[in-house]
Amino acid sequence: MFYRLLFNSTTYLTILLALVAIVGDYIVYHTKLHFFQALFDNTTHALIGALSWFMVCLHFKSSSAFYTLLEVAACAFVASLIDLDHFVAARSLNFEDATNLKQRPPLHCSTFPLVICLPLLMLSYVLYLPSLKRSILIVLTAFVSHHTRDATRRGFWLYPYGSTPPIPYGIYVLITCMIPHLIRLLYTMLKKNDISVSYDF
C-alpha cells in the first residue's frame, strides 16, 4: 500500500500543487514592479485552479482528451477572471487603484459561490444533468482555490457575518492540496452512474 501511495500520480500532483502555490507566492513577494506582481499573482491563481481540476479529471474522465483540456483551461480562466472585479470596483484600469481598494470586491465574497453553486449542484443531481454538475464543480473549484489563497491576507469573507481572521500560510497550503480531493469526494457523492460526460447542448 505504501508503494502504491509513493508512486501514485495523484501524490505527485498534490506535491506539485503545493510547490506551485509556494513558488508562485515567493515570486509575487519578491517582484518589485506592481504590474508584474499582479500578473504573477493572477497566473498563480490560474495554475492552481487548472492543476486542481486536472487532478479531479484523473478520477472522472471527460468524453475525450480535448474536453478534459477544455475543462482544465476553463477552471484556470475562471480562477483568473475573478480578479477582474478589482477593476470593476475601482472603476479604473489602473493597477494601483485596483489593488488598493478600501473594500473587497464582490467576487471575493466566499458566500457567493456557495449560494450559487450548491443549489445548482443539487438541481443537477435531481434532474440528472451531468454536464451542468461538472460545469458547476469547475466553477466551484476555481472560486474555492482563489479565495483560499487570498485568505492568507484577509481571511474568508462570509457575508453577512464578516470575515474570518487570515489563515496561517501552512494551513493555506494544506487546504489548497485538499481542494481537488474534496471536490472529487463531492463529485462521488453526487454521481449518478454518469461515467462519462455528454456535451449535447
Select from 69, 54, 159, 50 the least CA-distant residue to 109. 159
Residues 187-199 have a mean pLDDT of 61
Q: Give, in order, the Cα–Cα distances in Å from 106 to each of 90, 137, 167.
A: 12, 20, 20
Question: What pLDDT does 18 receive?
Answer: 95
- Domain ranges (residues) in the chain: 2-190
State pTM to two decimals: 0.86
- Answer yes or no: is pLDDT of 201 > 50: no
Q: Give, in order, the Cα–Cα distances in Å from 115 to each of 76, 122, 129, 140.
A: 21, 12, 19, 11
Residue 200: pLDDT band (50, 70, 90) is: very low
Position with higher pLDDT, 60 vs 199: 60
- Answer yes or no: is pLDDT of 103 > 60: yes
Nearest-angstrom CA–CA distance, 30 and 32? 6
With a pLDDT cut of 70, the percent of the chain lying above it is: 83
